[in-house]
Structure 1
Amino acid sequence: MSEEHQNPVSLPRIGDKAPSFEVNTTQGPVKLEDYKGSWLVLFSHPADFTPVCTTEFVAFQEIYPQLRELNTELLGLSVDSVQSHIAWVRNIEENFNTKIEFPVIADLSKEVATKYGMIHPNDSGTEANRAVFVIDDQQVIKAIIYYPLTTGRNMAEIVRLVEALQTTVDHQVSTPANWTPGDKVLVPPPASQQQAEERANDDSVEVIDWYLAKKQL
């Protein structure tokens, strides 16, 4: 039996409490509890001074002001050292005129990457892949996205995801495919035949069928 099967890693799932950590970053010591009360986008990248990661860091910085308006912080991670991270963000500022304002975790021991399931051995046994964890203000994992090493992330989708998740929490609704703020949302389906009949006559919602109805917030 392989070592991987002898020692399976329990990966966090949507709805789980986010695994705690206390780490060194480009902005000093940080622990997960520091973010309680705000939402957090925790993302990993494979390595400093690499092409795709560099374009992503510039792009993450571009959406950082939008995220902060949504009470959401950014926190990056790779298995490189603090010194490597510092040199890289300085390089990005010089080459792209972009100052990286969010901290980047130095996870040399791979402790955080392992806790969060960011290393996929069949993709790379040494580098974290492109994982995104959206963690709410109570430090519960609300969404997880994985990208392979070769594919840069879509920043507009990350912002949209946070907006959709917060809309669900604030209004107890769901969001349809391709939803963006201002679009109609989906109301919960009826739980009984009587509710289904009442829904059919409810002028406050757009009823497509008894189980599918939309409304404007």
Structure 2
Amino acid sequence: MVIVRAYDMLDASSENSGTVRATYAIDPEGIIRAIVWYPMNVGRSVEELLRLVEALQTSERECALTPEGWHPGDALVEPAAISLDETEQLAEGQSWYYRKRRA
């Protein structure tokens, strides 16, 4: 309940967190990086939560994006070019908005 109260995840008058069906990924600086909500009648996938944490860590470390269905070792997506100069430096035929690379 300490974390729940610190992040105001639950009403202050609540006695327990039984109704909180969200999983929060919080980085070492205390910033919430992801929130995953599950209805009461659906079980949580530990495998998917671990993949989410790995994707967040990899994305941060590599300054890249993880595409849908990404798993450790898969290609990453470069952030889109943000300036005309960056776009002009791309190789012939290389897309400015969707470029894959290995970690």
- TM norm. shorter chain > 0.5: yes
Q: TM-score, normalised by structure 1?
A: 0.40
Q: 1:134 is matched with which residue: 11, 17, 25?
A: 25
Q: Given the alignment, which residue of 53, 63, 75 partners 1:162?
A: 53
Distance 1:137 1:113, change over 3 A: closer
Question: Partner residue of 1:176?
Answer: 67
Q: How far off is 1:114 after superposition?
A: 8.4
Match of 2:14 in 1: none
Does residue 115 in structure 1 map to residue 8 in structure 2?
yes
Select the structure with the greater relative contact order (CA < 8 A; seq sep ≥ 6): 1
Number of the residue aligned with 1:61: none
Give the C-alpha shift of residue 141 in structure 1. 0.7
Letter in 2 for 1:140: I
Give the counterpart of 1:211 among 71, 83, 97. Answer: 97
Is 1:196–2:99 an aligned residue pair? no
Q: How many matched pairs?
A: 98
**1:148–1:114 distance in 2 versus 1, CA, 3 Å:** farther
Change (3 A) 1:140 1:114: closer
Distance 2:28 2:21 in 1: 23
1:1-217 paired onto structure 2 within 5 Å: 21=2, 112=5, 115-117=8-10, 127-201=18-92, 207=94, 209-217=95-103
Root mean square deviation, CA, Å: 2.7
Taking the aligned partners of 2:6 and 2:31, their CA distance within structure 1 comes to 17
Bigger fraction of residues in helix? 1
* Deviation digits for residues 9-45 of structure 1 (CA, Å, limit 9, x no counterpart): xxxxxxxxxxxx3xxxxxxxxxx5xxxxxxxxxxxxx
Contact (CA 8 Å) 2:10, 2:20: kept in 1 or not? no
The structure 1 segments of at least 4 consecutive aligned residues displaced by more than 2 Å after TM superposition are: 111-114
The residue identity in structure 1 corresponding to 2:28 is: D
Indicate the percent of aligned positions where both proteins have the same amino acid: 35
| Cα deviation 1:153-182 (Å, max 9, x = unaligned) | 111110000000001111111100100000
My pick for the range that moved more, 159-168 or 189-198, is 189-198
Larger proportion of strand: 1
